[in-house]
Amino acid sequence: MLFRKRNTTQSEAQGEEVKKSAPKGNAHYLSAKESREIAKSNARTIREFEKKNKVKHVDESVYTCEMKDENNIVEFDDLHTYFFTDAGVSKAVDGVTFSIPKGATVGVVGESGCGKSVTSLSLMRLVQAPQGQIVSGAIRFNMGDKAYDITKMPLSEMRKIRGKQIAMIFQEPMTSLNPVFRIGYQLDEMSLLHKKCTKEEAKAHSIEMLKLVGIAAPERVYRCYPHELSGGMRQRVMIAIALSCEPRLIIADEPTTALDVTIQAQILDLLKEVKDKIDGSVMLITHDLGVIAEMADFVVVMYAGRVIETGTTQEIFNNPLHPYTIGLQKSKPVVGRKVDRLYNIPGQVPNPIDMPNFCYFKDRCDRCIEKCNGEYPHFIQVSPTHRVSCYLYEDMQNKEGGSNE
Amino acid sequence: MSEALLMEEEKEALATEQSDEIVEEVTEEVVPEEPLDPNALLEVRHLSKHFPAKKNFFGKPLSYLKAVDDVSFKIERGTTLGIVGESGCGKTTLGRTILRLQPATQGKIYFNGIDINALKTAEMNALRPQMQIIFQDPYSSLSPRMPIGEIIGEAVVQHKLMPKSEVKEYVLGVMKSCGLPYHYYERYPHEFSGGQRQRICIATALALKPQFVVCDEPVSALDVSIQAQIINLLKDMQNKMGLTYIFISHDLSVVEHISDKVGVMYLGSMVEYGKTSDIFDKPMHPYTEALFSAVPIPDPNRHASRIILSGDIPSPINAPSGCKFHTRCNHCMDICKEVAPKFKDYGEGHMVACHLYSQD
């Protein structure tokens, strides 16, 4: 989705500007020879990574690590996930650092193609291989008594964590449920795999889970196929599957985007409720600022593969600092707030294959200063919880702030 | 989502084939003729569109899916009517039926005082340049084999709006007004991003100098920052060309921003219709109330008390008797289960179909 648009010109509809910046031909033209060379070098890099991934027995000490803060459930530390495509290396996630505290809901917002989903897939180690690879960085996951670095774990160990410790709710429930198996089978699978119980116990547990997510006739739904259910019901089933092993972390990747507003309200309420019941954390990925404001305790704003601002929900909504965050909030009409003309952020996201070396937002920013031509801005700690990556706020930096990225 | 869409389209295509039969099936109701409003560009009276859902062995339909059921409204020149509702409530079918992209089962559509359902195909084709549509998905509504200059100019040539030698000049002018630089003329759709494709779709529709445009979820497939660009473009073009829009969307905040009047649909019927400010400030129908309270507000300090509707939208094939909303309504009374409420005016053109208000 990110890397297919090699031919797209950079800026949209800026009239004269476009004529100057983009040459008349295709700006991102690659000759067959160049493309072959890229493919060759990619194949080499990918082979190295795959070799590392295929190692079956890794000593536990290799991937055991220590959390920076014991109260966090997950810490992303300078994570880089790249896609090696024939058109070049697409840096889908390019140095993401943030953490998810225990029992909290962290909302990740951004436009499509900004790396929200790839971040969550990296955490599950489900990035499309072989072209997609975690290149560097660490994802520390708190298992309670110990902590593991997920990027270094062998896949066989990872399988024990997936579903049991970290569960995922996907955007489109129809495509993530298997159409040829009954709901019951797909639910039982979780308990049978992770809990070593008998089939009867698994069934009892599954029906209990269906009840928990507010399905009125759990016995009937247990025997249904996915196509017999409506969108909202399917999403409930997905949530039931995700919850059935009582995970420490639930990743909800656009859980309500495919649903109607009234059903969305039901599902959001349900998510809030079950999160408290199992006492887990939620990583909520969405592009809807309304959903974030309602659900999240902390917000992470991403743009073009990088985190540009993080803070508590109050901070991000009441005092947004990064020009992109401000623009994003102004460009969405809000029910009950009347404006004559919507603010629009000019242009569009830069091509992920050749990112500029200055701030990625510079070309679209209306508050650009001279310093923006320099290297990509570091994080500036505005308050203990609020960080922003923008040169405009350099004088607001605290003494200990400014993590190197 | 795209799969579901595809299925819907297939269903519709299938239904259009058999629609001739339906027209014969339904007996015409005698409606007392009211004079037409001279200010209204489009007036829709008791419009219905039924698709055959189940057929017997010989292909005779046994039951119908009532996608649009007895809908009436009018749009004044140069204004925007927003249509909101959940998926499957018949918004898109309504838009397509108004343009006669599929024949109506029942009811009348007056465009500039002409009943378009009574027109012959050739007459209708002559009228087509005045009524255009912008589709939801800009990825599937542009032919991948044609450069965009040709796409935009195709209909202009087809309708012989100008001599062929002037078409290119004219298309470049339209492209410029829609924010597309001139050197895009010979590029192909795959070279563009979603926002630019939607601009191309808008340029295609506006190249014919229409009076009336149906915008069928034009911004749903786009990102927030691109959405704002497209909405602003649509508004600019309206001011410049005096366009009349029907804006179909499930995004209430966008509809509130762009519309002068709003119609709320539920299971094929219009349940509430009125000025945008009236509908958003004091919604009368319980469904409208619940729908509006369900919209998440991007403000962590404002936690609106939310009315949560239980259950899902019922199947439109055997819709509930009486008021269609009674299965999910919090104010349901006995009468609601038996008698369908009438769509009545409760002051200043605020029309509601609900028994709560008809009693007093």
Per residue in B252-281, pLDDT (tens digit) is 889 999 999 999 999 989 999 999 998 988
Provide the pLDDT for residue A23: 43
How far is residue A288 from each of residues A261, A301, B217, measured CA to CA in Å? Answer: 12, 12, 17
The range of the structural domain enclosing residue A333 comes to: 321-400
Provide the pLDDT for residue B170: 93
Paired strand residues for A298: A106, A312
How far B256 CA lies from chain A's nearest CA (Å)?
Answer: 7
How far B132 CA lies from chain A's nearest CA (Å)?
Answer: 23
pLDDT per residue as tens digits for the range A17-39: 434 444 445 556 778 888 888 89
Report if residue A39 sits inside a domain: no
Asked whether the beta carbons of residue B291 and residue A262 sit closer than 8 angstroms, the reply is: yes
At A278, the pLDDT band (50, 70, 90 cuts) reads confident
How far A262 CA lies from chain B's nearest CA (Å)?
Answer: 6
- Name the strand (E) or helix (H) holding A86: none
User: If you count residue pairs, one on A and one on B, with CB atoms under 8 Å apart, how many are there?
Assistant: 154
3-state DSSP assignment of residue B352: strand
How far B182 CA lies from chain A's nearest CA (Å)?
Answer: 9
| Joined tokens for residue B281 | 């400030």
Task: Give the Cα separation of B60 and B24 in Å (integer).
Answer: 12
The residue in chain A having the minimum alpha-carbon distance to the alpha carbon of residue B289 is: A262
| DSSP secondary structure code for residue B183 in this structure | G
Report if residue A350 sits inside a domain: yes
Q: What mean pLDDT, rounded, does chain A reach?
A: 85
The residue in chain B having the minimum alpha-carbon distance to the alpha carbon of residue A313 is: B300
The residue in chain A having the minimum alpha-carbon distance to the alpha carbon of residue B86 is: A260
Q: What integer is the mean pLDDT of A122-130?
A: 89
Asked whether the beta carbons of residue A261 and residue B183 sit closer than 8 angstroms, the reply is: no
Asked whether the beta carbons of residue B312 and residue A12 sit closer than 8 angstroms, the reply is: no
Q: Which amino acid is at A362?
A: K
Best mutation target, A1, A174, A331, to test chain B (most B CBs within 10 A): A331
**Nearest residue, CB atoms, A333 vs list B192, B256, B293:** B256
What is the helix, strand, coil percentage profile of chain B, to 5? 40, 20, 40
Asked whether the beta carbons of residue A287 and residue B308 sit closer than 8 angstroms, the reply is: no
| Joined tokens for residue A173 | 């429930």
CB atoms under 10 Å from CB of A397, counted, come to: 15
Q: What integer is the mean pLDDT of B94-122?
A: 91
Report if residue A136 sits inside a domain: no
Examine the pLDDT at B246 and tell me if it is beyond 60.
Answer: yes
**Nearest residue, CB atoms, B298 vs list A12, A332, A348:** A332
3-state DSSP assignment of residue A405: coil
Q: What percent of chain A has pLDDT over 90?
A: 35
CB B254 within 8 A of CB B219: yes
Provide the pLDDT for residue A7: 42
> Which residues from chain B sit within 8 angstroms of residue A291, using beta carbons?
296
3-state DSSP assignment of residue B335: helix
Q: What integer is the mean pLDDT of B17-25?
A: 49
Report if residue A52 sits inside a domain: no
Provide the pLDDT for residue A371: 85
Asked whether the beta carbons of residue B196 and residue A13 sit closer than 8 angstroms, the reply is: yes
Examine the pLDDT at A109 and tell me if it is beyond 80.
Answer: yes
Best mutation target, A26, A116, A317, A344, to test chain B (most B CBs within 10 A): A344
Asked whether the beta carbons of residue B257 and residue A111 sit closer than 8 angstroms, the reply is: no
pLDDT per residue as tens digits for the range A239-255: 999 988 889 999 999 88
Asked whether the beta carbons of residue A327 and residue B225 sit closer than 8 angstroms, the reply is: yes
Asked whether the beta carbons of residue A293 and residue B1 sit closer than 8 angstroms, the reply is: no
What is the helix, strand, coil percentage profile of chain A, to 5? 40, 20, 40
Spatial CA neighbour of A87 closest among A42, A53, A132, A26: A42
Least confident segment among A176-190, A243-257, B24-38: B24-38
CB B47 within 8 A of CB B71: yes
Task: Give the Cα separation of A117 and A83 in Å (integer).
Answer: 13
Examine the pLDDT at A405 and tell me if it is beyond 50.
Answer: no
Examine the pLDDT at A168 and tell me if it is beyond 60.
Answer: yes
pLDDT per residue as tens digits for the range B315-352: 888 888 888 898 888 888 888 888 888 888 888 889 99
Strand ranges for A264-379 from DSSP E: 281-286, 298-303, 306-312
Asked whether the beta carbons of residue B223 and residue A7 sit closer than 8 angstroms, the reply is: no
Q: What integer is the mean pLDDT of B168-185?
A: 90
CB atoms under 10 Å from CB of B236, counted, come to: 14
Task: Give the Cα separation of A324 and A302 in Å (integer).
Answer: 9
Examine the pLDDT at B285 and tell me if it is beyond 70.
Answer: yes
A318 or A30, higher pLDDT: A318
CB B150 within 8 A of CB B200: no
Asked whether the beta carbons of residue B253 and residue A332 sit closer than 8 angstroms, the reply is: yes
Asked whether the beta carbons of residue A287 and residue B1 sit closer than 8 angstroms, the reply is: no
Task: Give the Cα separation of A278 and A246 in Å (integer).
Answer: 6
Burial tier of A374 (Cβ tally within 10 Å: 0-12, 13-18, 19+): exposed
Asked whether the beta carbons of residue A174 and residue B3 sit closer than 8 angstroms, the reply is: yes
CB atoms under 10 Å from CB of B100, counted, come to: 18
Examine the pLDDT at B106 and tell me if it is beyond 70.
Answer: yes
Task: Give the Cα separation of A47 and A44 in Å (integer).
Answer: 5
How far A121 CA lies from chain B's nearest CA (Å)?
Answer: 21
The residue in chain B having the minimum alpha-carbon distance to the alpha carbon of residue A340 is: B257
Provide the pLDDT for residue A198: 92
Cα Dmax for chain A: 70
Spatial CA neighbour of B287 closest among B260, B267, B315: B267
Least confident segment among A37-51, B29-43, B196-210: B29-43
Asked whether the beta carbons of residue B235 and residue A341 sit closer than 8 angstroms, the reply is: yes
Task: Give the Cα separation of B162 and A12 in Å (integer).
Answer: 29
Measured N-to-C along each axis, helices B148-158 and B194-206 cross at an angle, to the nearest 10 degrees, of 20
How far B204 CA lies from chain A's nearest CA (Å)?
Answer: 16
Asked whether the beta carbons of residue A332 and residue B228 sit closer than 8 angstroms, the reply is: yes
**Nearest residue, CB atoms, A111 vs list B225, B252, B308:** B225
Asked whether the beta carbons of residue B227 and residue A332 sit closer than 8 angstroms, the reply is: yes
CB A342 within 8 A of CB B231: yes
* Neighbouring residues of A189: CB distance < 8 A, sequence distance ≥ 6: none
Least confident segment among A3-12, A121-130, A207-216, A395-404: A3-12
Asked whether the beta carbons of residue B297 and residue A288 sit closer than 8 angstroms, the reply is: no
Asked whether the beta carbons of residue B253 and residue A174 sit closer than 8 angstroms, the reply is: no
Report if residue A197 sits inside a domain: no
Task: Give the Cα separation of A263 and A134 in Å (integer).
Answer: 36
Examine the pLDDT at B25 and tell me if it is beyond 70.
Answer: no
Paired strand residues for B106: B48
Examine the pLDDT at A384 and tell me if it is beyond 70.
Answer: yes
Q: What percent of chain A has pLDDT over 70?
A: 91
Best mutation target, B202, B219, B225, to test chain A (most A CBs within 10 A): B225
C-alpha atoms less than 13 angstroms from C-alpha of A402 in its C-beta half-sphere = 12
Report if residue A125 sits inside a domain: no
Examine the pLDDT at B12 and tell me if it is beyond 60.
Answer: no
At B32, the pLDDT band (50, 70, 90 cuts) reads low
How far A35 CA lies from chain B's nearest CA (Å)?
Answer: 18
C-alpha atoms less than 13 angstroms from C-alpha of B167 in its C-beta half-sphere = 20
Asked whether the beta carbons of residue B297 and residue A111 sit closer than 8 angstroms, the reply is: no
How far is residue A136 from each of residues A9, A147, B148, measured CA to CA in Å? Answer: 30, 18, 42
What's the whole-model pTM score?
Answer: 0.81
Terminal-residue alpha carbon distance, chain A: 26
How far A234 CA lies from chain B's nearest CA (Å)?
Answer: 12
Q: What integer is the mean pLDDT of B33-50?
A: 86
Report if residue A354 sits inside a domain: yes
ipTM of this complex prediction, to 2 decimal places: 0.77
Asked whether the beta carbons of residue B296 and residue A269 sit closer than 8 angstroms, the reply is: no
At A315, the pLDDT band (50, 70, 90 cuts) reads very high
Task: Give the Cα separation of A67 and A73 in Å (integer).
Answer: 9
How many structural domains compose chain A? 1
CB B267 within 8 A of CB B90: yes
Paired strand residues for A79: A96
Report if residue A383 sits inside a domain: yes
At A4, the pLDDT band (50, 70, 90 cuts) reads very low
Spatial CA neighbour of B110 closest among B212, B29, B224, B263: B212
> Which residues from chain A sit within 8 angstroms of residue B254, using beta carbons?
333
3-state DSSP assignment of residue A94: strand
| DSSP secondary structure code for residue A337 in this structure | B
Give all strands of the β-sheet with A72-85 in edge-to-edge order.
A64-65, A147-149, A132-142, A72-85, A88-101
A8 or B199, higher pLDDT: B199
> Which residues from chain A sit within 8 angstroms of residue B224, using beta carbons?
111, 287, 289, 328, 331-332
Task: Give the Cα separation of A200 and A379 in Å (integer).
Answer: 53
The residue in chain B having the minimum alpha-carbon distance to the alpha carbon of residue A290 is: B298
Task: Give the Cα separation of B351 and B360 in Å (integer).
Answer: 16
- Name the strand (E) or helix (H) holding B316: none
